[in-house]
Homo-oligomer: A and B are copies of this chain.
Amino acid sequence: MSNNNISRHISGQFNIELEAIRTHVLAMGGLVERQLTDALHAIHYQDLDLAKQVIKEDHKVNSMEVSIDEACTRIIAKRQPTAGDLRLVMAIIKTITDLERIGDVADSIARTTLENFTNQQQPFLVSLEALGRKAARMLHDVLDAFARMDVEAAMKVYRSDDDLDREYEAIVRQLMTYMMEDPRSIPNVMKVMWAARAIERVGDRCQNICEYIIYFVKGKDVRHTNREEMEKLLK
């Protein structure tokens, strides 16, 4: 076998392995997305069975993180990727950390669901709905952008976090008003407050994933740069 053939062979095998990892990441993303939407559905409709199921499934997200991480370390040690291939592996290692944390958010919302809210407290929970829908949308869209490594789509998700932040600020104000009007409601409203905060953080995690997509495609680390610089990069 000529050297050339060997290198083609290695590269072919490498691509198969890398593709397997990427598929695994997309499966993990799909699971996390389902966990999040289920948790949001559970808290909104007070569906305790669904909440319990989300809590039960969380370990699957965790073990996917660990096994993808292992696969990434293995491919680096065995195949010694460079340039774009290495950037993809690095982007994957970081992406799964954020996905796992979004999984934790789903788990924590599910646990809040089990806290036995009374009928009077339903309005607090309802206020989470629009926020949750926006966060779930961001997650869906960033996973889509990741699957296609589409920088434009990633940038669109990135920008949409402003919208989520505004919604979050509005909810915080509303919940503070509830608490001031009826101090006895404070312990329960606080639970909803934590849930709102957790959902808002999903947006930040999605923004992180956008940055990894840009890092992979453009070869530039855009974390901690401002929005204008990011936009310029895409022109």
Closest to A87 in B: B73
Closest to A179 in B: B186
Whether A224 pairs with B73 at a CB distance below 8 angstroms is: no
Whether A187 pairs with B176 at a CB distance below 8 angstroms is: yes
Chain A interface main SS type: helix
Q: Which residues of B contact A80 (CB under 8 A)?
A: 80
Contact of A73 among B66, B90, B187, B197 (CB under 8 A): B90
Query: A64-93: which residues lie under 8 A (CB-CB) from chain B?
Result: 65-66, 69-70, 73, 76-77, 80-83, 86-87, 90, 93
Whether A82 pairs with B77 at a CB distance below 8 angstroms is: yes
Given contacts A77-B86, A223-B66, A224-B62, contact A186 B190 (CB under 8 A): no
Contact of A176 among B70, B180, B186, B221 (CB under 8 A): B186
Whether B66 pairs with A77 at a CB distance below 8 angstroms is: no
Query: A221-235: which residues lie under 8 A (CB-CB) from chain B?
Result: 221, 223-224
Q: Which residues of B contact A62 (CB under 8 A)?
A: 223-224
The answer to whether the Cβ of A63 comes within 8 Å of any Cβ in the partner chain is yes
Q: Which residues of B contact A63 (CB under 8 A)?
A: 224
Report Cα–Cα, A233/B77, bound state, in Å: 24
Q: Which residues of B contact A76 (CB under 8 A)?
A: 76, 86
The answer to whether the Cβ of A8 comes within 8 Å of any Cβ in the partner chain is no
Q: Give, as a whole number of angstroms, the nearest-CB distance from A36 to chain B.
A: 18
Whether B224 pairs with A66 at a CB distance below 8 angstroms is: yes
A sample of 17 more A-B contacts (CB under 8 A), given A73-B87, A77-B81, A77-B82, is A62-B224, A65-B223, A65-B224, A66-B221, A73-B90, A76-B76, A77-B83, A77-B86, A80-B80, A90-B93, A93-B93, A94-B97, A97-B97, A176-B190, A179-B183, A194-B197, A197-B197
A-B interface, 10 closest residue pairs, ranked by CB to CB distance from nearest: A62-B224, A80-B80, A77-B82, A180-B183, A183-B183, A66-B221, A179-B186, A180-B186, A77-B86, A176-B186
